[in-house]
Copies of this chain bind each other. A is one copy, B any other.
Amino acid sequence: MPRPARPLAANTPSLNGKKAKTDVPVPRAQAVYKALRRAIIEQALKPGMKLPEDSIGEQLGVSRTLVREAFGRLAVEGLVELKPNRGANVAYPTLEEARDVFEVRRGLERLVAENLAGRLTATQSAELEAHVRLEEKAHEQDGPESIRLSGEFHIKLAEMTGNALLLRYVQEASSRCSLILAIYGRPHSSECAVSEHRQLIEALRAGDAARAAALMDHHLQSVVTRALLAPRGERDIRDVLAPYALSEGLTPS
Q: Give the B-binding residues of A (Cβ under 8 A).
A: 24-27, 29, 65, 68-69, 72-73, 76, 78, 84-85, 97, 100-101, 103-104, 107-108, 110-111, 114-115, 162-166, 169, 173, 176
The answer to whether B166 and A103 have CB atoms under 8 Å apart is yes
Chain B residues within 8 Å of A165, by CB: 78, 97, 100-101, 104, 173, 176
Chain B residues within 8 Å of A78, by CB: 165
A107 with B111: in contact, given A73-B73, A84-B27 (CB under 8 Å)?
yes
Chain B residues within 8 Å of A100, by CB: 162-166
User: A100 CA to B163 CA in the complex, in Å?
Assistant: 5
Chain B residues within 8 Å of A162, by CB: 100
Write the nearest CB–CB distance from A45 to chain B, whole angstroms.
Answer: 21
The chain B residue sitting closest to A108, CB to CB, is B107
The answer to whether A29 and B72 have CB atoms under 8 Å apart is yes
The answer to whether A166 and B111 have CB atoms under 8 Å apart is no
The answer to whether A169 and B169 have CB atoms under 8 Å apart is yes
Chain B residues within 8 Å of A85, by CB: 25
Q: What would be 10 A-B contacts, judged by CB atoms less than 8 Å apart?
A: A25-B85, A27-B84, A69-B72, A72-B72, A76-B76, A103-B115, A104-B163, A107-B107, A107-B166, A165-B173
Write the nearest CB–CB distance from A127 to chain B, whole angstroms.
Answer: 21
Write the nearest CB–CB distance from A167 to chain B, whole angstroms.
Answer: 9
Select A104's contact among B24, B76, B103, B111, beta carbons within 8 Å: B111
Write the nearest CB–CB distance from A149 to chain B, whole angstroms.
Answer: 25
Chain B residues within 8 Å of A29, by CB: 72
User: A73 CA to B76 CA in the complex, in Å?
Assistant: 8
The answer to whether B72 and A169 have CB atoms under 8 Å apart is no
User: A111 CA to B103 CA in the complex, in Å?
Assistant: 9
Select A25's contact among B69, B84, B104, B114, beta carbons within 8 Å: B84
Write the nearest CB–CB distance from A161 to chain B, whole angstroms.
Answer: 9
User: A177 CA to B29 CA in the complex, in Å?
Assistant: 28
Select A164's contact among B73, B97, B164, B166, beta carbons within 8 Å: B97
User: A111 CA to B101 CA in the complex, in Å?
Assistant: 12
Chain B residues within 8 Å of A169, by CB: 104, 169
The answer to whether A107 and B104 have CB atoms under 8 Å apart is no
